[in-house]
A and B are shown apart, each in its own frame.
Chain A
Amino acid sequence: RKEVEQDPGPFNVPEGATVAFNCTYSNSASQSFFWYRQDCRKEPKLLMSVYSSGNEDGRFTAQLNRASQYISLLIRDSKLSDSATYLCVVRTRSNDYKLSFGAGTTVTVRA
């Protein structure tokens, strides 16, 4: 079983729509969680960290469900510029800085 699993999509949504997707992780001892964004043929860039209480950054809302071991990302009022692959990233052991990546969920926002 993969350490981090994501629905690859693609999620094709019109501008202004809300889109949400999850990722599941297998290691219950995982301690920190992130969403990264990766544009085509580019490096990943941090979108937001995901805290236990959930957190919001503008149009982006992230939630963590430890009991069910999943993380979600919700994008409101989608923009064309939100089209990208969103990577779910999990740190499974403290103090060693290793990150485990999901394969990504592709979102395409159309005009």
Chain B
Amino acid sequence: GAVVSQHPSWVICKSGTSVKIECRSLDFQATTMFWYRQFPKQSLMLMATSNEGSKATYEQGVEKDKFLINHASLTLSTLTVTSAHPEDSSFYICSASPLAGGLWETQYFGPGTRLLVL
């Protein structure tokens, strides 16, 4: 199946630091990528939809100035957590759909990034 990579897989940082997470589709092009967050024993929550060449679309309650998303190419989207605080500690997962898309097209998930803010 399609491969999506994420980097880094683990981040431990001090409060107030900005953290950048990269999401890459390795063997397909993706005009749309998605960023999710998952807290322990909870469901994945969509944070934002990242569109290549345009601004991201944020879900209600997600601060766009805190979670900066850049989708610079058809294979790369980045999420920057600005001025991270302990409550931002979570499992961040990206996903991507191949260019063709479709109602039944699945999303392929990256391996996730665990962020721990001290």
Contact = CB atoms under 8 A, between A and B. Distances in A.
Interface of A: 4, 8, 31-32, 34, 41-46, 49, 87, 91, 94-104
23 contacts: A4-B43, A32-B103, A34-B106, A41-B114, A42-B111, A43-B109, A43-B110, A43-B111, A44-B44, A44-B109, A46-B1, A46-B106, A94-B103, A97-B32, A97-B49, A97-B101, A97-B105, A98-B46, A99-B34, A99-B46, A100-B46, A103-B42, A104-B43
Contacts of A42: 111-112
Nearest to A104: B43
Given A43-B93, A43-B109, A87 B43 contact: yes
Interface of B: 1, 32, 34, 41-46, 49, 91, 93, 97, 101, 103-112, 114
Q: Is the interface of B mostly helix, strand, loop or mixed?
A: loop
B93 A97 contact: no
Q: Is the interface of A mostly helix, strand, loop or mixed?
A: loop
Contact of B41 (A44, A87, A103): A103
Top 7 A-B pairs ranked by shortest CB distance?
A: A43-B109, A103-B43, A101-B43, A101-B44, A43-B112, A46-B106, A43-B111
